[in-house]
Amino acid sequence: MPESARMILVLTAISGAAGLGLAAMNSVTEPLIAENERLFTLRSIAGVMPAADEPDPCARPDPAYDNSPEQDAVCVGGFRVYRGRRGGEVVGLAVESVGDEAYGGTILALVGLALDGTVTGIEVLRHGETPGLGSLITDCGWRRQLVGKGPDGQVWKVKKDGGDVDAIAGATISSRSMIDAVLKAQRLLAEKKDEILAAAPLEAREVCHAP
């Protein structure tokens, strides 16, 4: 057998073995990744849903719902909204909302809302902000000033822009993006509340896309 043909066979065998190994590893790790994502979502929902008269993003009191919000999610206006219920009645929402024009692209946040639009919690699900600067949007201490405020409870802008929100030092752009995510969630509730409350739950693994 020519040397070139032998090399091709060896490389083909190595590539095939590597491919089988990767496929096997993926089959093992994929369920673990999916379960970790599910648990992260559950913790985030519990962290933002209405739970106390004076919500605190740095505390984790028992939530006010008695259902499984991840199984009662709806897609409205391109937003995934988790509904928390007590005794069958919706008592709060958690909205996946995107803050645009962040320093690192966009920020995906989970915004908890009471039915009157008051912010009951905020969790950052994904961001690409600068470590030590924009990444401080994940600090519960900074987010505390946004929680407990309704749509008309304050001017939803950073103070540099004439609003009431203290921006993160050196990260005004990131702060603006977080405010954008909150405003989008509040606006969705104000404009589509009836649809959110009445919509049929998403099927398992169903993706929510903007219309």
- At residue 38, the pLDDT reads 72
Instruction: Return the higher-pLDDT residue of 181 and 42.
Output: 181
The secondary structure of 156-211 as a DSSP string is -SBGGGTSSBPPPTT-HHHHHHHHHHHHHHHHHHHHHHHHHHHSPPPPTTPPP---
Q: Is the pLDDT of residue 190 over 90?
A: yes
Domains identified in the chain, total number:
1
Q: Is the pLDDT of residue 61 over 60?
A: yes
Q: pLDDT > 90: what percent of the chain?
A: 39
Confidence of residue 3 (pLDDT cuts 50, 70, 90): low
Residue 39 makes CB contacts below 8 A (sequence gap 6+) with none
Structural domain boundaries enclosing 70? 1-211
- At residue 115, the pLDDT reads 94
Residue 66 makes CB contacts below 8 A (sequence gap 6+) with 85, 86, 87
Q: Is the pTM of this model over 0.95?
A: no
Quick count: other Cβ atoms within 10 Å of Cβ 116?
Answer: 10
Q: How far apart are CA 88 and CA 19, in angstroms?
A: 49
